[in-house]
Amino acid sequence: AQGLLVVGDAAGQVKPTSGGGIYPGLVAAKIAGGVAAAAALEGDGSAQRLQEYDRIWRANLGRELEIGMRANRMLNRMSAKECDELVNYLAGRPGLIKTIEEHGDIDRPSHLMIKMLLHLDWDGLKLAGLLRYALG
């Protein structure tokens, strides 16, 4: 809207897996501050001018929030048995656990997911079956 930028929880910049919002809120606040300062110097607080903020924050955070939302949907659709299968699969692979410990990043889950793919074997096909929830 004209003259308005919203960040954090008010803007829906919340991690769907944990409900946390400090990291995305701080990233968005920094972006909003830069856009607001530039707009003020230009004397243009129009909604069109301020749309730059939306474009930049989504470019920085949107992918990770979308991945988190897919993970949230997946977990909410899984039965207790499927959750147990997933946990047992992950727990039975020491190399995978080590990768999670070394590369796990609650703010950038996609980075970890890429590294985890290297540790999947044929049983990973079972896991892929469970992940169908993430796409549907």
Contact 135, 77 (CB under 8 A): no
Residuewise pLDDT in 10s, the chain (136 residues): 999 999 999 999 999 888 888 999 999 999 999 999 999 999 999 999 999 999 999 999 998 898 888 888 888 888 899 889 888 888 888 888 888 888 888 788 777 777 777 777 656 656 666 555 554 4
Kindly give, in sequence order, each residue whose CB lies less than 8 Å from that of residue 17, ignoring residues fewer than 6 positions away. 68, 71, 72, 75, 106, 109
Q: What is the DSSP letter of 78?
A: S
